[in-house]
A and B are shown apart, each in its own frame.
Chain A
Amino acid sequence: MAQTQNKYPARATIASKLLIVFISFILIPMVFIGYVEYMYANGAIVDDQVSKLNAIANLKVEKIVTYFKQIDANMVLAQDFLIIKKNMPMLIAYAHDKSNPRYIAAKQELDSQLKPLQKINRYDNFMLLTTKGEFIYSSNPEHDLAYKSGLVKKMAEDVLTKPKTGIYRSSIFQYGKTARDSEIMAGSIVYDEYGNQIGILIAEVGMAHVYEAIQDTNGLGKTGETFIVEKRGNEAILLSPLRFDKNAAFTRTIDFGDMGDIASQDVASGQYGVIAKDYRDKQTLTVWRYIPFMNWSLVVKIDADEVFAKVYVFEELFWFLIAITLLIGIAVAFIIAKCIAGPICKLQRGAEIIGGGNLDFRVGIETRDEIGQLACSFDDMVANLKKKDEDLIIAKQKAEASSQSKSEFLAMMSHELRTPLNAIIGFSEILVDEGVGKLNEKQKEYVKDVLDSGQHLLLLINDVLDIKKVEAGKMELQLVETNIKSIVDSGILMIKEKADNHHIDIAENVDENIGCVTIDEVRMRQIMYNLLSNAVKFTPDGGKIGVEAKKIDNHEVLIAVWDTGVGIEEKDKSKIFVPFKQIDGELSRKYAGTGLGLTLVKKMVELQGGRIWFESAGKNQGSKFYFTLPTKQEVCHI
């Protein structure tokens, strides 16, 4: 959309409005649905993973318990072996003479039974001890480590505290450098057929097999792992190596406080997973199992990142979809906006062109939608407007022609009326002056009447023509800066003779600092003459007239012409400025005038930007005519 310099700048374009609508109606629900979907998927994935972890935990617990129960079962079985009951005292008896055939025979008999048992069960060793904890026999002499490490004495004591058929299991202990070099001991008391304690049987069970089961990460992805801990005080010590820390067993502890309440409260029945930070400070999804049989806890966990990888993929897809939708939305909004706003812009530009005066311009939008219809109506309107405009121009031309002919008529009138008047006045003047011979009184009186009538007619014609000129707007003012005092003086001069003839006093009162007005001097004289001659005309002999002039403010001067004459009755006041109306009846006959003087005065005062009014207290109370003229504030040069 080409942006032209717009006279009426738009605050929000249609495109942006559409975009907002689009976003609110499509994107917001989409985000909402996406969010719900995301939360749901999240929950589902967590649930799924938790049950998976639980299944693994259950399986492993089962394996461990089964394994150790098997050990117990084997111990119970071995405890009652006759070969042990028979041969153990022989070994004790000949302990100081190991080359004795009886000793050797007894050992061979024991070997024949305990070695296969040890090998089948993949135990490290079977040991026989005296009740005092002295070493007697080992089925795997290369591995009688427990004895060598000195832990056995304590073990013997512990075993002896057990009831007749009880199996005592030691803690796991490490004898080598790695976690794999650790084992657990199971011990039971051996009795003779009379129920006397002969000695103690101990099985050394390597933890490697247990760890294999525990560390099997099958089904645990890339980050999942299983380990066992034993609760010691407020801490849980690791009993097995970690996937990411092979040396963790016995060296690393887990603070239960950090693991949260769930861990410490009820790790046994924890069927649910919890998201917590692990030893690597990573978020993990974790489940626990307490194994009462061993007093261990099994922990199965997997990194949250791995669990939520699918969610992350979903999340990425979601943002991708939002971005795509947004882009499509913007594109669609712009296309729609262009479809709508384009023709509107065209219409608007058209309106501006037409507004500029080019009524021949047509918007010409061809589409059949509402905008197209609007454009059609608009074009029709402009066509109508053009027709009206043309009609108006014709009417104006007619009016101008009429006005022209009117002023031509005025000029003609003036000429045609004055031409015969010139002869009438001229010849009657000659006769009155008796320039061509004496006249008798009657003749002279009549000729004088002709002359007076001629002169009256002339005044009448002049006034009528002047009024018509003002009305036709043909009165051209020649505005000149003029001193008011000189205007007043020349006005008085014009009627002084007539006033003197009637013994009328003329008072003049003009403010000294009244200054100048910008007026048409000829018209101003006409105004002053009319008002002053009226004053004289309507004032009885021996009366008084006067002129006052003063400044009202910086914008106006006030001029007043007053007399002590016949005054104006209330009923006549409304007719004063009406043509041929200011006097009637006897006054009209007595004070002959054209009846147009004041009408003309009013028109000329108003033409020059002034106002006119009068005051009269009533019949024979005199009258006072006021008028104002606008001033110029500049210094007056006379």
Chain B
Amino acid sequence: MDSKKTKKVILVIEDDPLNMKLVADLLEAAGGFEIIKASNRKSVFEILQQTIPDLIILDLQLPDIDGFEIMKRLKSNEITKAIKVVAMTSSITLEDEEQMAEFGFNRYIRKPINTREFVKIINGVL
């Protein structure tokens, strides 16, 4: 269980099961992460009641809630405020890094993700 303590806890919020699988598999393959999966708003806030992850990978387009809305809630809560967040989007709108930083995102990854760089990016944020 020691090793578990050193493991970084990452909450992946993604509605598409295949994309979820891809991200989770990449992180698992890299090792050293504990991955918690959430695919809708309900599960996100249930999980956050119990666990405070080190990092959240947030898909900005969820069917029942906007990614920015989740972000707003995270940042308005003292406990969740400090959690690092990496945004993932398949949007064609060209939000730039600066704009995303204003919302409090630590990184901004456009889909399709680069599997070769993905873990590096995550580690960089951590």
Contacts and interface: CB of A to CB of B under 8 A. Distances in A.
A421 interface: yes
A422 B92 contact: no
Nearest to B15: A419
A425 B29 contact: no
A520 to B, nearest CB: 10
Contact of A422 (B25, B91, B112): B112
25 contacts: A411-B91, A411-B92, A414-B90, A414-B91, A418-B90, A419-B90, A421-B111, A421-B112, A422-B90, A422-B111, A423-B18, A423-B19, A423-B22, A425-B115, A426-B19, A426-B113, A426-B115, A427-B18, A427-B22, A429-B115, A430-B115, A433-B116, A435-B115, A465-B92, A469-B92
A429 B116 contact: yes
B80 interface: no
Contacts of B115: 425-426, 429-430, 433, 435
Contacts of A429: 114-116
Contacts of B16: 419-420, 422-423
Interface string A385-429: 000000000000000000000000011001100111111111101
Most chain A beta-carbon contacts within 10 A, residue among B16, B18, B21, B111: B111
Most chain B beta-carbon contacts within 10 A, residue among A414, A419, A425, A430: A419
A459 B124 CA distance: 28
Contacts of A454: 112
A419 B22 contact: no
B39 interface: no
Most chain B beta-carbon contacts within 10 A, residue among A410, A425, A522: A425
A425 B114 CA distance: 9
A12 interface: no
Contacts of B112: 418, 421-422, 424-426, 454, 458
B105 to A, nearest CB: 18
A273 to B, nearest CB: 114
Most chain A beta-carbon contacts within 10 A, residue among B19, B26, B92, B116: B92
A420 B17 CA distance: 10
B26 to A, nearest CB: 7
Nearest to A414: B92
Nearest to A465: B92
A418 B18 CA distance: 12
A462 interface: yes
A436 interface: yes
A435 B94 contact: no
A411 B93 contact: yes
Given A422-B113, A423-B19, A429-B114, 19 more contacts: A410-B92, A411-B91, A414-B91, A415-B90, A415-B91, A418-B111, A420-B18, A421-B111, A422-B22, A423-B18, A425-B115, A426-B19, A426-B112, A430-B22, A430-B25, A430-B29, A433-B115, A466-B92, A522-B94
Interface in B88-126: 90-94, 111-116
Nearest to B90: A418
Interface string A419-450: 11111111101100101100000000000000
A486 B112 CA distance: 28
A326 to B, nearest CB: 81
Interface residues of B, number: 20
Interface of A: 410-411, 414-415, 418-427, 429-430, 433, 435-436, 454, 458, 462, 465-466, 469, 522
Most chain A beta-carbon contacts within 10 A, residue among B22, B25, B116: B22
Contacts of A426: 19, 22, 26, 112-113, 115
A430 B90 CA distance: 20
Q: What are the nearest 5 A-B pairs in CB distance?
A: A418-B90, A423-B18, A422-B112, A414-B92, A426-B22
A457 to B, nearest CB: 10
A166 B90 CA distance: 160
Contacts of B25: 430
A420 B19 CA distance: 8
A436 B29 contact: yes
A522 B18 CA distance: 31
Nearest to A435: B29
B99 to A, nearest CB: 11
A411 B29 CA distance: 32
Nearest to A428: B115
A418 B26 CA distance: 18
Contacts of A423: 16, 18-19, 21-22
Contacts of A425: 112, 115
Contacts of A421: 111-112
Interface in B33-81: 61
Contacts of B61: 415
A462 B18 contact: no
Given A430-B25, A430-B26, A419 B92 contact: no
Most chain B beta-carbon contacts within 10 A, residue among A410, A411, A436: A411
A416 to B, nearest CB: 8
Contacts of B111: 418-419, 421-422
A426 B90 CA distance: 14
Contacts of B94: 522
A419 B91 contact: no
A454 B61 CA distance: 21
A436 B19 CA distance: 17
Most chain A beta-carbon contacts within 10 A, residue among B18, B115, B116: B115
A422 B61 CA distance: 14
A426 to B, nearest CB: 4
Contacts of A427: 18, 22
Given A411-B91, A414-B91, A522-B94, A422 B19 contact: yes
Contacts of A522: 94
A469 to B, nearest CB: 7
A433 B25 CA distance: 14
A422 B94 CA distance: 18
Contacts of A419: 16, 19, 90, 111
A94 B76 CA distance: 179
A266 to B, nearest CB: 123
A419 B63 CA distance: 13
